[in-house]
Amino acid sequence: MTALIACHFALALFASPLVRRLGTRAFVVLALPPAAAAIWAGAQWRGTADGEARGSSWRWLPDYGVEFALRLDALGELMVLLVGGVGALVLLYCASYFPDRTPQLGRFAGNLLAFAGAMLGLVLADDLILLYVFWELTTVFSFLLIGQHSGVKQNRRSALQALTVTTMGGLAMLVGFLILGQAAHTYRLSELIAHPPASSAAVSTAVVLVLCGALSKSAIWPFSLWLPNAMAAPTPVSAYLHAAAMVKGGVYLVARLAPAFADVTPWRPLLLILGSATMLLGGWRALRLHDLKLVLAYGTVSQLGFLTVLAGAGHYDTGVAAVVMILAHALFKAPLFLVTGIIDHAAGTRDLRGLSGLARRLPAVCAVALVAGLSMAAVPPMLGFAAKEAAFQTLLDGSAADRWALAAAVVGSALTTAYTLRYLWGAFARKPGHHDTATHPVPRAFLAAPALLACLCLVLGPGVGWTDHLLSAYAAGFPAPAHPYHLALWHGWGPALLLSALAWAGGLGLFLAGRPVARLGRLLAWRSADREFGRILLGLERTALQCTGFVQRGSLSVYLATTLAVVLAGQIAVLAVDSPWRGAPAPRLWDNPAQAAVTVLTCTVALLSLGVRRRMKAVVLAGLTGYGTALLFVVQGAPDLALTQFCVETVSMLVFVLVLRRMPVYFEENFTRWRRTVRMPVALGGAAAVAVVVWIMAGARRGDFAGAAMVEETDHHGLKDVVATILVDLRSWDTMGESSVLAAAAIGVTSLIYLHRRTDRDDPLPEPAPRETAGTGLRTAWTQSHGDLAGLPEGDEGAPGRTWLAAGRTLAPEHRSVVFEVVARLVYHPILVLSVYLLFCAENMPGGGFVAGLVAGLAFITRYLAGGRYELAEAAPFGPGLFTGLGLVVSTGVALGGLAEGTVLHGGTWHGHVPLFGEVHASTALLFDCGVYLLVLGVVLDIVRALGGKVDRQIERLAALRAAEGHGGGR
């Protein structure tokens, strides 16, 4: 089972290259995983029908009782057959539906196959948390599929609407899962259903939250607004996600949990009322629409309400009726959507007012639609008739609440008959006063998928008894009645058949009275839920803008003062109502006089920064406070932390310097005496509050130090650098998360610089001309980068001709320093070697991937400062994104490997002799550190490239334009 799910996602990764190479024929290859899932499920039919269940699991989060557990039982068997079988046919249908040159077709194919894999995982999941993971994956992939044509505003809005509604429901469902798991002391779904927790207020709350997720996924009122708008997606998406797969997810969850929680308040009232309301509202709305796809969409909403009523009734017989209706609905609704796509292709429209005579022009398409439509209208001998008979009879034999739901079901069935006739008449009938619609021929391969599904509706009607053994195995989870219901096409003359006849007659009457019904519908129409949703979003946006405008004034000093004032006020409030310092030891000012001396110097520098008005001076003073902190680490005996702090402060100061080149020398705010009088006490008070909090927290410790066990672990392995070992071994997941945040922050910062083209690269190093001078080199570089701009100043012919750096000749003479170039040339390689040394010695000496990456970044920064942006491009010819991405891949891969019983990170070591190095001890934690090294190096290069090279380019362009304007003015 795990392999089947993995195959879907693995092949989805190669969808784009397959589509580029094979065109639409790639869909035939992509249909193999869902077809294999359906075949595998079919091979398990006999066992699951006998009540057997196959499962597999492996530990995922053992401390929380969460496992990657999969299970196939009778209900899972049915859903896998639908997900895999219909998914394979839809993918084959895509091969004829899309032209070869469809934009972004590879991405669409990958998303559709990945969605099939996520849906397969959802119906097989036997763990609540795992089910939620796959649940949200289906939400994400449906968002991508609905918004496939992202250039169209309506598609983007529809995708966002579906994502918003289903995600909010999913989050509520997650909370319900957590409550149920805690109440039952297990997250295993099969165990939860076999031994449900005792009814209580917490369990009832959890049930309501879980149903919120299920109802939002299956578009039950009031969450039904997103499904009709999702018809903006391509027709194959509508046929699969919104008829056979995704929207069945909520009904599946209700059916899965019903044996355990149907008797919990308010399960039955909630589902019966909302399901009945959805059935009636959706069917009534379908009678007033002219787009064939929207008619089917609102019909789907109506029938999902019917399925919710059957699945939520919570009895043996209604359970059988629910699962056979799930099967029937998928088999008749999916081919109708696919036929709609064929009509759209062949006739160029889906508006039933513009279609006429297609029954004669497309007889095969009409036959397929007629078979599927008769099944949807529950006409014998179709499968839909057998399912509808089962629903009517089981609700009739149920409780009083079930009989009220039966009345709604009969009315809903009449509406179903009416909009089915409206669909068939609108698509294929010859309308008076209209010429026959011109159509293109329909290839047989295009019609094969809907034809096969429609044939199943016809075959499984008389053969519905073949499914009785399997579907009854699901219903066995409910208490069995004395005379259980059995599926058959004909149960004789009785009340159920009479109700069906009433539904057919009512539906025929509604269809024949189409115009009066449409006028009545317009008179009784409520406000559009879609419009109300838009108003809510607009109101939220306006409120957010007003709140943002109120609190975000654009003044950094105001933000800092507010933060410090809140900290200070909170501390004063605590001190006023409590005495948290009681029991805390008296503060010890220092361990040795050196600490006091460093502290005094650091505090002095910090106080001097309060009155600074020059930006550069403020940066230098702030950096000195950081160096002072690093000196405290040295005095305290933490050289590894001190080394990291020194490197961070150095890189930070250089980055600040690069930024300040484009900013005014002085702070632009008005530094009046009144503002200083207010800000200084706030700053000093905030600092004192933080110091007091740290002192109180240190004195309030009662438990053992958390690091004691980690220190013992590192000692056991013979390692000395405890901090580095903890970061890359014992807490590698935390480090990986922090690394991801660092990469995201760097990408965000540089994206603001490269606002229009994130992939901008530095200009290539210009080829040197014979005996060219530095000034000529600058002109050559500028000409290659920006074209021939008049007015670029000539270089000094007397400038030094020797270039110590590869790109030194691109700098103007006034910007060059031969001493700096020589120093940069001499220290560049030793700094890189030092970074590699710090990387490999991290287990027993100060170092590590983070500090090593910073040191390597300093080497490249040195070359940039000495030779400019061309020198940086020469030193790092590969894009910084390559280092960042490779680092994330390496560190993530090693961390994921550590999930395998912890053998990778904690047990993977190698000892050996390496020439020139001697005895070498390497562990897989070193591989993780290599990933961190590459990531940090990539981040530093990206920031320097953006804040250095890009700013240099802007400065050069402005200087050239000013020079050109000066020459023009002189002439």
Highest mean pLDDT among 174-178, 521-525, 949-953: 174-178
Structure tokens at 364: 């095969």
- State how far the Cα of 161 lies from the Cα of 137, in Å rounded to an integer: 16
- pLDDT score for 901: 45
Give residue for tokens 């997650």: 174
* pLDDT tens track for 267-280: 889 999 999 999 99
- pLDDT score for 135: 92
Structure tokens at 870: 């061309």
- pLDDT score for 912: 62
Percent pLDDT > 70 in the chain is: 82
Which residue type does 799 have?
Answer: A
Question: Do 794 and 802 form a contact (C-beta atoms < 8 A)?
Answer: no
Structure tokens at 644: 């990291």
DSSP strand pairing (909-914 vs 66-72): unpaired
- State how far the Cα of 815 lies from the Cα of 808, in Å rounded to an integer: 10
Highest mean pLDDT among 322-331, 481-490, 876-885, 946-955: 322-331
Is pLDDT at 524 greater than 70 in this prediction? no
Which residues 6+ apart lie within 8 Å of 658 measured at CB? 944, 947, 948, 951
Lowest-pLDDT choice from 247-256, 701-710, 781-790: 781-790
Is pLDDT at 755 greater than 60 in this prediction? no
Lowest-pLDDT choice from 38-52, 127-141, 766-780: 766-780
Element (H, E) at 920: strand 918-923
- pLDDT score for 584: 63
Provide mean pLDDT across the span 426-452.
Answer: 86
Confidence of residue 757 (pLDDT cuts 50, 70, 90): very low
- State how far the Cα of 182 lies from the Cα of 444, in Å rounded to an integer: 55
Written as one string, the DSSP assignment of 679-727 is HHHHHHHHHHHHHHHHHHHHHT--S--THHHHHHHHHHTT---HHHHII
| Adjacent-strand bridge partners of 56 | 70
- State how far the Cα of 589 lies from the Cα of 599, in Å rounded to an integer: 10
Is pLDDT at 764 greater than 50 in this prediction? no
Long-range contacts of 640-647 (CB under 8 A, 24+ apart): 640/721, 640/723, 640/724, 640/846, 640/847, 640/848, 640/851, 641/723, 642/846, 643/838, 643/846, 643/847, 643/851, 644/848, 644/850, 644/851, 644/854, 647/851, 647/854, 647/855, 647/858
Is pLDDT at 806 greater than 90 in this prediction? no
Written as one string, the DSSP assignment of 520-576 is HHHHS----HHHHHHHHHHHHHHHHHHHHHHH--S-HHHHHHHHHHHHHHHHHHHHH
Is pLDDT at 254 greater than 70 in this prediction? yes
- State how far the Cα of 494 lies from the Cα of 267, in Å rounded to an integer: 30
Lowest-pLDDT choice from 401-405, 535-539, 748-752, 796-800: 796-800
Element (H, E) at 665: none
Written as one string, the DSSP assignment of 501-523 is HHHHHHHHHHHHTHHHHHHHHHH
Question: Do 366 and 335 form a contact (C-beta atoms < 8 A)?
Answer: no
Which residues 6+ apart lie within 8 Å of 819 measured at CB? none
Confidence of residue 898 (pLDDT cuts 50, 70, 90): low
Give the mean pLDDT of the chain.
81
Percent pLDDT > 90 in the chain is: 20
Structure tokens at 735: 């480090």
Is pLDDT at 788 greater than 70 in this prediction? no
Provide mean pLDDT across the span 879-900.
Answer: 76
Structure tokens at 375: 């099944």
Structure tokens at 107: 């991405």
- pLDDT score for 480: 82
Confidence of residue 583 (pLDDT cuts 50, 70, 90): low
- pLDDT score for 337: 92
- State how far the Cα of 13 lies from the Cα of 6, in Å rounded to an integer: 11
Which residues 6+ apart lie within 8 Å of 441 measured at CB? 346
Phi, psi of 434 (to 5 degrees): -120, 140
* pLDDT tens track for 811-833: 666 667 778 778 888 888 898 88
For 149-215, what is the HEC assignment? CCCCHHHHHHHHHHHHHHHHHHHHHHHHHHHHHHHHCCCEHHHHHHCCCCCCHHHHHHHHHHHHHHH
CA distances from 20 to 10, 101, 398 (A): 17, 9, 56
* pLDDT tens track for 22-36: 888 899 999 999 999
Question: Do 410 and 402 form a contact (C-beta atoms < 8 A)?
Answer: no
- pLDDT score for 811: 67
**Higher model confidence: residue 259 or residue 640?**
259
Which residue type does 45 have?
Answer: W
Question: Do 410 and 503 form a contact (C-beta atoms < 8 A)?
Answer: yes
- pLDDT score for 668: 64
- pLDDT score for 707: 66
- State how far the Cα of 93 lies from the Cα of 147, in Å rounded to an integer: 20
Confidence of residue 175 (pLDDT cuts 50, 70, 90): very high
- State how far the Cα of 188 lies from the Cα of 196, in Å rounded to an integer: 11
**Radius of gyration over alpha carbons of the chain, in Å?**
35
Provide mean pLDDT across the span 330-338.
Answer: 92
Is pLDDT at 765 greater than 50 in this prediction? no
CA distances from 478 to 53, 256, 473, 839 (A): 17, 11, 10, 62
CB atoms within 10 A of CB 185: 11
- pLDDT score for 323: 92
- pLDDT score for 799: 40
Is pLDDT at 786 greater than 60 in this prediction? no
- State how far the Cα of 408 lies from the Cα of 224, in Å rounded to an integer: 18
* pLDDT tens track for 367-385: 999 999 999 999 989 999 9
- State how far the Cα of 628 lies from the Cα of 633, in Å rounded to an integer: 9
Provide mean pLDDT across the span 909-933.
Answer: 70
**Higher model confidence: residue 116 or residue 810?**
116
Structure tokens at 295: 């008619």
Which conformational region is residue 913 in: left (phi greater than 0), alpha (psi within -120 to 50 degrees), or beta?
Answer: beta
What 3-state DSSP class applies to 127?
strand
Which residues 6+ apart lie within 8 Å of 578 measured at CB? none
Report the candidate in 25, 44, 39, 46 with the shortest Cα–Cα distance to residue 83.
39
- State how far the Cα of 910 lies from the Cα of 602, in Å rounded to an integer: 44
